[in-house]
Chains A and B, each alone.
Chain A
Amino acid sequence: MARAPLFLAREGYRRRRLADMARLLPVLGAALFLVPALDARDGLGSGMLIYLFSAWFGLILASAFVSARLARAAPSEGADPSAEPAAEPPEEAS
């Protein structure tokens, strides 16, 4: 098997960054969801409620964006794109 090339074509590169995004999203989510614990003294205010649900909703939107593009970019077999960076996606112009 040939070694994976060090630099990828634009599409492969995009796909990898997309996977990075998918990996980082829960980290961002954890940070956002920790805020109520930092501001523990105040209790349940409407401000807190609005913040929490807005953050939650934002995360869902971000996840929808990233996941949809990832699913489209991934080869149909669902193989790991990061494992086969050399494989060019078949005529996929997004």
Chain B
Amino acid sequence: MIAFDMLVAICLFYVAILFGVAFLAERGGRRGSNAWLRSPLVYTLSLSVYCTAWTFYGAVGYAARSGLEFVTIYLGPTLVLIGWWWTLRKLVRIGKTQRITSIADLISSRYGKSNMLGVIVTLIAVVGTTPYIALQLQSVTLSFAVFAAAGAPGPWQLVDLNAAAFSVAIGLAVFTVFFGTRNLDANERHHGVVTAIAVEAVVKLIALLAVGIFVVWGIGGGAQATLDRIEASPLAGMPVAPGRWIGLTFLAGAAILTLPRMFQVLVVENEDERHLATAAWAFPGYVFLMSLFVVPIAAIGLAEMPPGANPDLFVLTLPLAQGRDGLATLAFLGGFSSATSMVIVAAIALSTMVSNHIVMPLFLHWTRSGATMSGDVRTLVLRARRLSIGGVLLLGYLYYRLTGGSEALAEIGLISFAGVAQVLPALLGGILWRGATRAGALAGLTVGFSLWAYTLFLPSFGEGAVMSAGLLADGPWGIGWLRPQGLFGLDGLDPLVHAVVFSMGANALAFTLVSLFDFPGPMERLQAAQFVNVFDHSPAGQGWSQGRAEAEDLLLMAQRILGADDAQRLFQRAAADQGKQGYLPDTTPEFLRGLERKLAGSVGAATAHAMVGQIVGRSSVSVEDLMKVADETAQMMEYSSQLEAKSEELARTARQLREVNEKLTELSVQKDAFLSQISHELRTPMTSIRAFSEILMEDDALPPERLADYSRIIHQESMRLTRLLDDLLDLSVLENGQVSLHPQPVSLSDLLDRSVAAAGGRSGRAPMAIRRDPAAERVDLVTDGDRLSQVFINLVSNAQKYCDAADPVLTISVTEVEGRVAVDFVDNGSGIPDRSQSIIFEKFSRLSDPRKAGGAGLGLAICREIMVRLGGSIVYLPGRGGAAFRVTLPSRCAEAA
């Protein structure tokens, strides 16, 4: 039998080796040498913190109590690891791009950098991990006790197990503080710790394999014989409970994703994404080997050891009973390694979470006035971490003392698993589903964690400890269906499966439902897109828009967190990238984002964001700026559409102006023609009048018939002049609105009769046929008949004058159009060319040869003025086969048909 002090000496020597390994690895890691440190092998071995003392000792005890079921604890992680392409790869990528420091940080960061969620996840992790740490302390003390009890009485006789547990806790705290809080930036990772853990992983694997091989071939008598002994052992009679089998596989799979220590080694300490590809088969291989000999050890232990021996310690007691002290010592070191590696990593993970999500936000809250000015933040963060490590280990120790260390190892581990598994919906939902929201995660976590506490955690303390026996048996206030271990009357279920089904079910349901009905804030949606689509845009992170941040302030702050050298190097590099000299780069959004990431590695995303936010002068994110940008864009779009409208209007105006101009030009041409015409028109009669009046004056001997002839000519010519002047006067009177109308009842047919008669016939040409429809013309009007007939006369005589058809026909038709009376004058001539249709109603316009027309071109202008005065209109109707005019009479004129 090995002496107890010898064992302690070996133990201390082993710890010293671990310190040495960690120290060398740390130094090598800082130098950048030791490439094998960053190999996938070390990564895989570091994952073995999954296999704690619970695995090392507890698995055999578990197998001895419940048969094959223990293996589910490894089947779940196996499935998750070989399914790395689904989730782990994404998780690791997100962890890298977002500088995630812990699982609480991931959840907080994903849901809009919500610190509330960070706090909740941290609390869940602490509550879930504390029993687990207690479990490790317990297993180490138990294994010490084995040797102490078996060893000869002496000065090292272990009287006080608690003292042993306490000193182990202290030793672990020292190691963790020393190597776990040496550097701050998680990007640099804990090389020392990871390497030490890899060494421990090898030790525990070798130890367990050695015991297994010894048991199978040393005691059992070979593989086949051992299998026969298993068939004969009580284990063979232990059936698999399907509910527990499936539930535990699920739980173990969830645990490897959500346990803080697993997240630490899987995601945070990951050096290279490709290491996952190795771990995908190597880690399942590791746990395969770890569980290979569990059943043989259990079966043979049950057979060989005296009844009542604790099966949890078979790994240790079997070699001891066989007198194999060396092997027992190796097994002891294996168990010791399992326990210590778990505690170290868990303490690092938890302390990161506690300091980043609880201590730092509180500190920032209290010193809101200026985190940059007061105190050294770097020291504060490190101190917070060290205190947290101490606190976590103290909690574990207290839990161990309180529970008395009596429970079977397996149950504590499973309760712990079920607790941290509550993070799973928020985690998976967060990286796979963009619709997952902060409120949903909050609801799911709260509901799931509460149900876990109610149905599993609190009852686990035993009847009367936290929950009274009555509460457990009859439910609160005697309500049976609320019994902690039989919700809704589901008594038949195993308590663990019952708790898992209800807590995870309610958790997932609350998470999904609340997320579906919630509307996330802009920050959440940004982060959601970044996480879920991490492969689409890996180099990203939501941004700072350029603010008033002073580079100097930022440098001061960064120095306090990263250390002076690192911070100055970072700033200098950033400045150099911007093409500047010195240490102060421009505070561009890229720079701020990078700095925030860098700080996030030390203090967590939410805290880093808050710190940069304080200096930049915005504690809320740049979402407002985004909004502003969006607003500006909208304004610019509006402005440009206004411009467009204006330019369209301008184009329209220009088009109108062009048309008017064309009209004016044409009119001007016509006016010139008219002026020459009118001067001619005026001059011709004046010349005749002058000539004939001169003859009359000078020639006294004119025969009387000549005299009469000449004076008639003079009279005619002066009449013509008068008519021309009358027309001009008439038009000017009409245009100036000085005309007075005399409305009276008239008959349209009378008016037309009169007009046709007054227009007279065509001088020297074939008479024009005029077609009329007397029935339609029987319309009574109240209007100024004289003026209206003036219009009609004009139109009829125009037709007679200009119609160039061989058999001229004028059709006068009367119709009702939209309640108004329309009189159409349509001839069968060649009509008026398009070009001229717009100007025929203008003054002085005349289309044909002026000489032929024999008028001053005022007729239609006068007609239009008259119709306007009468409240009607006159328009040219194109496309009627000839010249066609429509005179429309207002309804008030057409009374009583």
Distance of A25 Cα from B276 Cα, bound (Å): 15
Nearest CB of chain A from residue B801's CB, rounded to whole Å: 74
Q: Within the complex, what minimum Cβ distance (angstroms) separates B709 from chain A?
A: 101
Contacts of A29 in B (CB 8 A): 75, 78-79, 82-83
Question: Once bound together, how far apart are the Cα atoms of A73 and B674, in whole Å?
Answer: 93
Please give me the residue from chain B that is nearest to A64 by CB atom. B281
User: Which residues in chain A, 12-66, are within 8 Å of chain B measured between CB atoms?
Assistant: 19, 22-23, 25-26, 29-30, 33-34, 36-46, 48-50, 52-53, 56-57, 59-64
B80 within 8 Å of A (CB atoms)? yes
Which of the 9-residue segments B239-247, B492-500, B831-839 touches chain A?
B239-247
B288 close to A57 (CB less than 8 A): yes
The answer to whether A43 touches B274, judged by C-beta atoms less than 8 angstroms apart, is no
Closest to B71 in A: A52
Task: Tell whether B895 is near chain A: CB-to-CB under 8 Å.
Answer: no
Decide yes or no whether B84 CB sits under 8 A from chain A: yes
A72 to chain B, nearest CB (A): 9
Tell me whether A30 and B79 are in contact (CB under 8 A): yes
A33 touching B75 by the CB < 8 A rule? yes
Could you say which residues of chain B place their CB within 8 Å of the CB of A45? 231, 236
Task: Report A-chain residues with C-beta under 8 Å of the C-beta of B240.
Answer: 36-37, 39-40, 43-44
Determine whether the beta carbon of A49 is less than 8 Å from that of B68: yes
| A22 and B237 alpha carbons, distance in the complex (Å) | 37
B292 at the binding interface (Cβ < 8 Å): yes
**Chain A residues with Cβ under 8 A from B86's Cβ?**
23, 26
Judge if A74 is at the interface, Cβ distance under 8 Å. Answer: yes
Listed residue (A41, A60, A61) with the most chain B CB atoms within 10 angstroms of its CB = A60
Contacts of A79 in B (CB 8 A): 535, 538
Most buried by B among A50, A59, A68: A59
- B231's nearest neighbour on chain A, judged by CB, is A46
How many interface residues does chain B have, given as a range? Answer: 35 or more
Contact present for B281 and A60 (CB under 8 Å): yes
Does B750 count as interface, using CB distance less than 8 angstroms?
Answer: no
A57 to B292 alpha-carbon distance, docked (Å): 11
* A-side contacts of B85, CB under 8 Å: 19, 22-23, 70
Residues of B within 8 A of A36 (CB): 68, 240, 245
Decide if B752 is an interface residue (CB 8 Å cutoff).
no
Would you give the shortest CB distance from A93 to chain B, in whole angstroms?
19
With A and B bound together, what is the CA distance between A79 and B538 in angstroms?
Answer: 9
Q: Which of B210-267 contact A (CB under 8 A)?
A: 227-228, 230-231, 235-242, 245-246, 249
Contacting residues, chain B, for A33 (C-beta < 8 A): 75, 79, 249
Interface residue? A2 (CB, 8 A)? no
Q: Is the CB of B281 within 8 A of A78?
A: no
Q: From residue A84, how far is it (CB to closest CB) to chain B in Å?
A: 9
Is A80 an interface residue, CB under 8 A from the partner?
yes
Given contacts A37-B240, A46-B231, 5 further A-B contacts (CB under 8 A): A36-B240, A43-B240, A52-B68, A53-B292, A74-B274
Residues of B at under 8 Å CB distance from A?
67-68, 71, 75, 78-86, 93, 227-228, 230-231, 235-242, 245-246, 249, 272-274, 276-278, 280-282, 284-285, 288, 292, 295, 535-536, 538
3 closest A-B pairs by CB = A26-B83, A71-B277, A64-B281
